[in-house]
Amino acid sequence: MNKKELFDAFDGFSQNLMVTLAEIEAMKKQVQGLVEENTILRLENTKLRERLSQLEHENLVKTSSKQGKDHLEGIYDEGFHICNFFYGQRRENDEECMFCRELLDRK
């Protein structure tokens, strides 16, 4: 190999290295973008899981509250007082009690 061929070989090799370096830099930027997107999605996922957990807890509280109210309504329908004043006493002739009704009508 003469000097010109050697220089041409080095020049070609140098050009290939520059192209490869540019490709690597492009891949590096793409990976960096993916890492940032992944981080954002992980944070969003965490927040959504926390919100879902909160909603499930609220739903559980509402369900248990509704079950308690249904139970009191059943006792009242059987003819017993559920108010603080006469709790457990039988309602005479199944008459309405305004204190019991107030408890049942609460939200």
Sequence ranges of the binding site for Zn(2+): 81, 83, 97, 100
Task: List the domain boundaries for the chain.
Answer: 3-105
At 39, the pLDDT band (50, 70, 90 cuts) reads: very high
pLDDT tens sequence across 50-67: 999 898 888 777 766 677
Sequence ranges of the binding site: 81, 83, 97, 100
This prediction has a pTM of 0.49
One-letter identity of residue 50: E
